[in-house]
Structure 1
Amino acid sequence: MKMLLPSTVPFGRGPQAADRESFRAARRKAAARALLLAMPLIAFLLVTFVAPITSLLGRSVQNPEVRAGMPQLAAALSTWNGTGVPGEPAFAALAHDLKGAGQDGQLGNIARRMNFYKSEYRSLLFKTARAARSASPAQWKPALIDIDSRWNEPETWRLLKRASVSPTPDYLLNAVDAHVASDGSVTQVAADSAVYRAAFGRTVTISATVTLLCLLLGYPVAYLLATLPEKQSNRLMLFVIVPFWTSLLVRTTAWYVLLQPSGVINTALMKFGLISHPLPLIFNRTGVLIGMTHILLPYMILAIYSVMKNVSPSYMRAAKSLGAHPALAYVRIYIPQTLPGVGAGCFLVFVLALGYYITPALLGGAGDEMISQIIASQTNDQLNWGLAGALSCYLVVFTAVFYFIFNRLVGIDRLRFG
């Protein structure tokens, strides 16, 4: 009698394995189609968002003006040890490059770069360039020193050497009110010249205050919207969403009208006899806080509401049925479940406040200048893109640090909208 043996199938080659392979192939095809559909958006973000930001941040260490416009001088100073005044080759290279930079139209960029070190360098370079164009002495060192005695000062050449080095830490140091001294050590600038550290501190203080005000005002509103019947909640939600349909500039200008000494608020308070003279509500910190809180409050409300809406009321009923006081149950049971929304709202408001520009510029005073205003001034007025990039770099770092702090405290990465 012939024995029937079961057919031997190699391990992993049965019907189930084939199904798994076809499923993986279908998943790969679906992922490839999704990637192709997303490619236009990815390309758009790379061109309009990632590339400009990367370019700006890269300028914080780039130093091309002197190196590209005065190549012979940069090469001569690369071998100079920084002691005393360099020799004749460096002076001859300076004269040659000044002539060439003047003819190529690069002298203005070089002078502006050197002017970031000292305001007198622009006049020094242009004065020397004009004199060098009509001179051809046998020795350039005494000739240039006769043109201006500052060419006989080691500090002048030390700064030229620093300006000819790329990449450079100078912009990053300037952004925190520091610089490299003549002995190579990093020192802080004089207290009366320090600007940027105070601006960073002021920016963080204003942003944190606005975040706290938005939390205090937004949490009760979000709770009301989450606990009301759906029909009433949707009606009230319109008052939260409508500000998004209004221009930021229009809302800020409206507060400008309301808060001025002869504005609606002061006029009403004086009419009812509550005050005898107008309150200072504008061109100071008060106006900045009022305007920014009004504009950023909807972000806080929506972030907290999205979490509160998903908190089941059965937890509160269970706590009360077990004898917990309503206030204690609210603090111990309800609030901890809303912390992801609180964290997301605080982080969102705080980060948006860090980069605010229009509202502080219109409603604030001289002592309320935020770091975003300084970045805009360095970019548009001073044309100091390197310093603007350094300030932006620190702002990005601060934002990342604050994100990890918020995430560590309340776990905002666990937030689920909807």
Structure 2
Amino acid sequence: MKRFWPFALLAPLLLTLLVAFAAPVAMMLMRGVSEQELPVVMPRTAKALRAWDGAGFPPDTAAATAAGEMRAARHAGTINRIANRLNYDIVGSRSLIFATAARLDQGAAGGSVADLARIDPRWGDRATWSAMRHASGPSSSFYLWAALDRRVDPDGHIVSVPSEQAVFVEILLRTFKISAIVALLCIVLGYPVAYLVARAPSKFANPLLIVVLLPFWTSTLVRTTAWVVLLQTNGVVNGLIQALGLAQAPLPLLYSRTGVYIAMTHVLLPFFILPLYGVMRRVPPDTLRAARSLGAGPVSAFVRVYFPQTLPGVIAGAVIVFTLALGYYITPALVGGGADQMVSASIAFYTNRSLNWGMAAALSILLVIPLGAILILGRSVSGWRPI
């Protein structure tokens, strides 16, 4: 029984994490690879379209079923869900669904593909039926391909979307680039600080550690807003640069990529220093002295003896910073310009404004998969194991 007591004590916490965190996240991510609209609102149509091989046009029985269920959805008030989903694939499908349902309600014939084409010529286009077949579920790759600026054409081929609609790959690459540079800046700036705190005597180390922890006592919004004040055209930073003669005119630090790097590095730097400091505290100080006594120079002793022992902490801190930076929303939104917004802004837009949860989930999946690969790579390189 003693072996099961720890699990019994942890059971409430694990159950809370499962119910309040893991399950909702998993349900949200499932929206990116499943179809929730057509199979629910028009189940018989979805079943008929799944049986269709996609060649030519669907059988007239499938068209008649679609016509009947469109009318029923209009009366039930659920037709908006189908119209919105098809409009994600082909712009203008919303008006097509609403107008067709209204005409069918007025007595127009809808027993065949030709009848529906007489109501609106777009029903005579294979692309319309292909979009409905892609939405028939239950699983779907539509949102994932859309998040990669791709789509499935009526023949089942993966093709690029028009250049004016291709935005997501650029946003994803920008997100990974900004996150990687912020992680690199944290390594460059945080390693000396962590080394200083770890090697300092206790009476100095504790105050220095408190200084490192100070940003945790202020909200991210307050810190980011402070950087907006500091980086503006007539702010403190530009005033100092001009006073030192480094520039004749104010630099464009606010609403720029530079401002994003500065603010995000400041906000995330403690998340790199703390795990690295914990690793450095466990490195015996005698190792450096032993290397020096055997003839190694200061640089050689540091590079060949000390740094390899702290590498797990470097990787752990860099992964934490990179992970947090991937999902950052407030700092790029306030400090960056329109060309500096990260994928989190798109996820927020599709979740809160357009209510396209499938696209929001697909973008989230495209962040989770590379992150898992980075964790596995970090473990294989240094032996670091995330707890």
> Common fold, TM-score beyond 0.5?
yes
Q: Alpha-carbon deviation of 1:143?
A: 4.2
Distance 2:53 2:293 in 1: 82
Percent sequence identity is 45
Aligned to 1:179, what secondary structure does the other structure show? strand
CA contact (8 A) 2:100 2:120 kept: yes
The amino acid of 1:169's aligned partner reads S
1:179 and 2:151 are equivalent in the alignment: yes
Paired residues in the alignment total: 387
The amino acid of 1:205's aligned partner reads K
Distance 2:244 2:174 in 1: 36
Note closer, same or farther for the CA distance 1:394–1:108 as it changes in structure 2 (3 Å cut). same
Q: Alpha-carbon deviation of 1:87?
A: 4.4
1:345 and 2:310 are equivalent in the alignment: no
Aligned to 2:159, what secondary structure does the other structure show? strand
Q: Deviations over 1:334-357 (max 9, x none)?
A: 111111111111111111111111
Aligned to 2:151, what secondary structure does the other structure show? strand
1:253 and 2:212 are equivalent in the alignment: no
CA contact (8 A) 1:343 1:411 kept: no
The amino acid of 2:22's aligned partner reads V
1:377 and 2:317 are equivalent in the alignment: no
1:327 to 299, 310, 313: 299
Note closer, same or farther for the CA distance 1:141–1:217 as it changes in structure 2 (3 Å cut). closer
Q: Aligned residue for 2:174?
A: 202
The amino acid of 1:301's aligned partner reads I
Q: Aligned residue for 2:135?
A: 163
Distance 1:83 1:323 in 2: 77
Written as runs of structure 1 = structure 2, the 5 A alignment for 1:40-189 is: 40-137=12-109, 141-189=113-161
Q: Aligned residue for 2:359?
A: 387
Distance 1:373 1:174 in 2: 17
RMSD, aligned CA: 1.9
1:303 and 2:275 are equivalent in the alignment: yes
Q: Aligned residue for 2:213?
A: 241
Question: Which region of structure 1 is more displaced relative to structure 2, 369-378 or 88-97?
Answer: 88-97
Distance 2:116 2:292 in 1: 89
Q: Aligned residue for 1:366?
A: 338
Distance 1:72 1:222 in 2: 63
Distance 2:280 2:315 in 1: 13
Aligned to 2:89, what secondary structure does the other structure show? coil
- Superposition TM-score, scaled by structure 1 size: 0.88
The amino acid of 1:324's aligned partner reads A
Q: Alpha-carbon deviation of 1:138?
A: 8.3
Q: Aligned residue for 1:26?
A: none
Note closer, same or farther for the CA distance 1:288–1:383 as it changes in structure 2 (3 Å cut). same
CA contact (8 A) 2:61 2:111 kept: no
Q: Deviations over 1:141-178 (max 9, x none)?
A: 55432321111112111111211131111112212222
The amino acid of 1:52's aligned partner reads P
Note closer, same or farther for the CA distance 1:326–1:142 as it changes in structure 2 (3 Å cut). closer
Distance 1:320 1:33 in 2: 50
Q: Aligned residue for 2:257?
A: 285
Distance 1:355 1:299 in 2: 15
Question: Which region of structure 1 is more displaced relative to structure 2, 246-255 or 328-337?
Answer: 328-337
Q: Alpha-carbon deviation of 1:47?
A: 1.1
1:193 to 165, 182, 186: 165
Q: Alpha-carbon deviation of 1:236?
A: 1.1
Note closer, same or farther for the CA distance 1:124–1:338 as it changes in structure 2 (3 Å cut). same
Question: Which region of structure 1 is more displaced relative to structure 2, 369-378 or 265-274?
Answer: 265-274
- Unaligned runs of at least 5 residues, structure 2: none
The amino acid of 1:294's aligned partner reads H
2:373 to 401, 405, 412: 401
The amino acid of 2:4's aligned partner reads A
Distance 1:42 1:76 in 2: 43
The amino acid of 1:410's aligned partner reads S
Aligned to 2:4, what secondary structure does the other structure show? helix
Aligned to 2:385, what secondary structure does the other structure show? helix
Q: Alpha-carbon deviation of 1:265?
A: 1.4
Note closer, same or farther for the CA distance 1:93–1:230 as it changes in structure 2 (3 Å cut). same
Distance 1:311 1:37 in 2: 34
Distance 1:117 1:376 in 2: 20
Note closer, same or farther for the CA distance 1:272–1:81 as it changes in structure 2 (3 Å cut). closer
CA contact (8 A) 1:340 1:414 kept: no
Q: Alpha-carbon deviation of 1:293?
A: 0.3
Q: Alpha-carbon deviation of 1:94?
A: 2.3
Q: Aligned residue for 1:35?
A: 7
Q: Alpha-carbon deviation of 1:414?
A: 8.8
Aligned to 1:30, what secondary structure does the other structure show? coil
Note closer, same or farther for the CA distance 1:138–1:284 as it changes in structure 2 (3 Å cut). closer
Distance 2:98 2:110 in 1: 22
Distance 1:44 1:356 in 2: 25
Q: Alpha-carbon deviation of 1:359?
A: 0.8
Q: Aligned residue for 1:276?
A: 248
